[in-house]
Structure 1
Amino acid sequence: MTTAVRAPAFTEPDRPKGLLIRFVTTSGSYVDVTGHGEHAQDNRWNCLGCGDTSRSPEQSYLFNIRPDANDHATACRAIPLT
Protein backbone atom coordinates (compact mmCIF):
# COMPACT_ATOMS: atom_id res chain seq x y z
CA MET A 1 0.00 0.00 0.00
CA THR A 2 1.31 3.42 -0.93
CA THR A 3 0.32 6.70 0.56
CA ALA A 4 0.37 9.63 -1.79
CA VAL A 5 1.03 13.09 -0.47
CA ARG A 6 -1.37 15.48 -2.07
CA ALA A 7 0.10 18.86 -2.89
CA PRO A 8 -2.08 21.93 -2.42
CA ALA A 9 -3.70 23.25 -5.58
CA PHE A 10 -2.24 26.71 -5.00
CA THR A 11 0.91 27.91 -3.34
CA GLU A 12 0.47 30.08 -0.31
CA PRO A 13 0.96 33.74 -1.23
CA ASP A 14 3.37 36.00 0.61
CA ARG A 15 2.18 36.97 4.04
CA PRO A 16 1.29 40.66 4.26
CA LYS A 17 2.54 42.95 6.99
CA GLY A 18 0.29 42.74 10.03
CA LEU A 19 -1.14 39.30 9.18
CA LEU A 20 -3.00 38.01 12.24
CA ILE A 21 -4.95 35.04 10.86
CA ARG A 22 -5.08 33.25 7.50
CA PHE A 23 -8.10 31.08 6.68
CA VAL A 24 -8.17 28.63 3.76
CA THR A 25 -11.33 28.81 1.65
CA THR A 26 -13.25 25.79 0.37
CA SER A 27 -11.59 26.25 -3.03
CA GLY A 28 -8.05 26.57 -1.72
CA SER A 29 -7.71 30.33 -1.72
CA TYR A 30 -7.07 32.41 1.39
CA VAL A 31 -8.79 35.00 3.57
CA ASP A 32 -6.30 37.18 5.41
CA VAL A 33 -7.08 39.07 8.60
CA THR A 34 -4.65 41.97 9.06
CA GLY A 35 -4.24 44.73 11.60
CA HIS A 36 -2.58 45.37 14.92
CA GLY A 37 -4.24 42.67 17.00
CA GLU A 38 -6.85 41.84 19.57
CA HIS A 39 -7.19 45.25 21.20
CA ALA A 40 -6.73 47.40 18.09
CA GLN A 41 -9.54 48.83 15.97
CA ASP A 42 -7.69 48.65 12.65
CA ASN A 43 -8.29 44.97 11.83
CA ARG A 44 -9.75 43.98 8.43
CA TRP A 45 -10.20 40.83 6.36
CA ASN A 46 -9.58 40.40 2.65
CA CYS A 47 -10.30 37.40 0.41
CA LEU A 48 -7.52 36.61 -2.05
CA GLY A 49 -9.91 34.51 -4.15
CA CYS A 50 -12.87 36.76 -4.93
CA GLY A 51 -11.49 40.07 -3.66
CA ASP A 52 -14.27 40.62 -1.11
CA THR A 53 -13.32 42.42 2.08
CA SER A 54 -14.74 43.43 5.46
CA ARG A 55 -18.37 44.45 5.11
CA SER A 56 -18.27 47.59 7.19
CA PRO A 57 -16.40 50.61 5.88
CA GLU A 58 -14.88 51.16 9.29
CA GLN A 59 -12.33 48.83 10.75
CA SER A 60 -13.01 46.75 13.84
CA TYR A 61 -11.70 44.73 16.75
CA LEU A 62 -10.40 41.24 16.08
CA PHE A 63 -13.27 39.53 17.91
CA ASN A 64 -15.69 41.20 15.45
CA ILE A 65 -13.66 40.48 12.31
CA ARG A 66 -12.64 36.86 13.01
CA PRO A 67 -16.13 35.23 12.68
CA ASP A 68 -16.92 37.17 9.51
CA ALA A 69 -13.63 36.16 7.89
CA ASN A 70 -14.14 32.53 8.88
CA ASP A 71 -17.73 32.55 7.53
CA HIS A 72 -16.51 33.98 4.23
CA ALA A 73 -13.73 31.39 3.97
CA THR A 74 -16.29 28.64 4.55
CA ALA A 75 -18.59 29.89 1.79
CA CYS A 76 -16.20 31.29 -0.86
CA ARG A 77 -15.54 29.11 -3.90
CA ALA A 78 -13.46 31.57 -5.91
CA ILE A 79 -9.97 30.51 -6.90
CA PRO A 80 -6.99 32.84 -7.02
CA LEU A 81 -6.35 34.14 -10.53
CA THR A 82 -2.64 34.75 -10.04
Structure 2
Amino acid sequence: MRTALRTSAFTEPDRPKGLLIRFVTTGGSFVDVTGPGEHSDHNRWNCHGCGEVSNRPEKDYLFRIRPDANAHATACRAIPLT
Protein backbone atom coordinates (compact mmCIF):
# COMPACT_ATOMS: atom_id res chain seq x y z
CA MET A 1 0.00 0.00 0.00
CA ARG A 2 1.31 3.44 -0.91
CA THR A 3 0.85 6.47 1.25
CA ALA A 4 0.34 9.74 -0.57
CA LEU A 5 2.43 12.64 0.64
CA ARG A 6 0.70 15.96 0.09
CA THR A 7 2.99 18.90 -0.47
CA SER A 8 2.23 22.48 -1.35
CA ALA A 9 2.75 23.59 -4.94
CA PHE A 10 3.67 27.02 -3.62
CA THR A 11 6.79 28.35 -1.98
CA GLU A 12 6.66 28.37 1.78
CA PRO A 13 6.75 31.96 3.10
CA ASP A 14 9.44 33.10 5.49
CA ARG A 15 8.94 31.88 9.01
CA PRO A 16 8.01 34.78 11.29
CA LYS A 17 9.48 35.33 14.72
CA GLY A 18 7.50 33.41 17.32
CA LEU A 19 6.17 30.79 14.87
CA LEU A 20 4.70 27.95 16.92
CA ILE A 21 2.80 25.92 14.31
CA ARG A 22 2.36 26.10 10.53
CA PHE A 23 -0.56 24.34 8.80
CA VAL A 24 -0.91 23.80 5.05
CA THR A 25 -4.34 24.79 3.77
CA THR A 26 -6.51 22.86 1.34
CA GLY A 27 -5.70 25.52 -1.28
CA GLY A 28 -1.96 25.14 -0.77
CA SER A 29 -1.33 28.21 1.32
CA PHE A 30 -0.27 28.35 4.97
CA VAL A 31 -1.79 29.23 8.34
CA ASP A 32 0.71 30.40 10.95
CA VAL A 33 0.17 30.25 14.68
CA THR A 34 2.46 32.75 16.37
CA GLY A 35 2.99 34.02 19.88
CA PRO A 36 4.88 33.47 23.11
CA GLY A 37 3.74 29.85 23.43
CA GLU A 38 1.76 27.35 25.41
CA HIS A 39 1.41 29.23 28.71
CA SER A 40 0.46 32.58 27.21
CA ASP A 41 -2.90 33.99 26.14
CA HIS A 42 -1.19 36.21 23.54
CA ASN A 43 -1.13 33.74 20.64
CA ARG A 44 -2.86 34.25 17.29
CA TRP A 45 -3.18 32.69 13.87
CA ASN A 46 -3.22 34.19 10.39
CA CYS A 47 -3.80 32.75 6.93
CA HIS A 48 -1.41 33.62 4.10
CA GLY A 49 -4.05 32.63 1.53
CA CYS A 50 -7.21 34.55 2.37
CA GLY A 51 -5.80 36.93 4.98
CA GLU A 52 -8.17 35.87 7.75
CA VAL A 53 -6.84 36.12 11.30
CA SER A 54 -7.94 34.74 14.64
CA ASN A 55 -11.05 36.54 15.80
CA ARG A 56 -9.78 37.05 19.34
CA PRO A 57 -6.16 38.09 18.88
CA GLU A 58 -4.08 38.19 22.04
CA LYS A 59 -6.72 36.33 24.07
CA ASP A 60 -5.98 32.71 23.28
CA TYR A 61 -3.93 30.00 24.88
CA LEU A 62 -2.28 27.63 22.43
CA PHE A 63 -4.62 24.72 23.32
CA ARG A 64 -7.60 26.91 22.31
CA ILE A 65 -6.18 28.49 19.18
CA ARG A 66 -4.62 25.35 17.64
CA PRO A 67 -7.96 23.67 16.74
CA ASP A 68 -9.29 26.92 15.22
CA ALA A 69 -6.19 27.36 13.06
CA ASN A 70 -6.33 23.72 11.97
CA ALA A 71 -10.04 23.97 11.12
CA HIS A 72 -9.39 27.09 9.04
CA ALA A 73 -6.53 25.38 7.20
CA THR A 74 -8.79 22.42 6.43
CA ALA A 75 -11.54 24.64 5.01
CA CYS A 76 -9.55 27.43 3.28
CA ARG A 77 -9.18 27.05 -0.47
CA ALA A 78 -7.48 30.37 -1.16
CA ILE A 79 -4.15 30.15 -2.92
CA PRO A 80 -1.23 32.41 -2.08
CA LEU A 81 -0.98 35.40 -4.40
CA THR A 82 2.69 36.10 -3.81
TM-score category of the 2 structures, normalised to the smaller one: 0.7 to 0.9
1:45 aligned partner: 45
AA paired with 2:73?
A: A
Report the TM-score, using the length of structure 1 for normalisation: 0.87
2:70 aligned partner: 70
Identity level (%): 78
Give runs of aligned pairs for residues 11-26 of structure 1, distance below 5 A: 11-26=11-26
Gaps of 5+ in 1: 1-5
**SS in structure 2 at match of 1:55:** coil
**SS in structure 1 at match of 2:14:** coil
2:35 aligned partner: 35
Gaps of 5+ in 2: 1-5
Report the TM-score, using the length of structure 2 for normalisation: 0.87
AA paired with 2:48?
A: L
Runs of 4+ in 1 over 3 A off after TM superposition: none
Task: Figure out how many residues of one structure are paired with residues of the other and give that number.
Answer: 77
- Of the two, which has the highest radius of gyration? 1
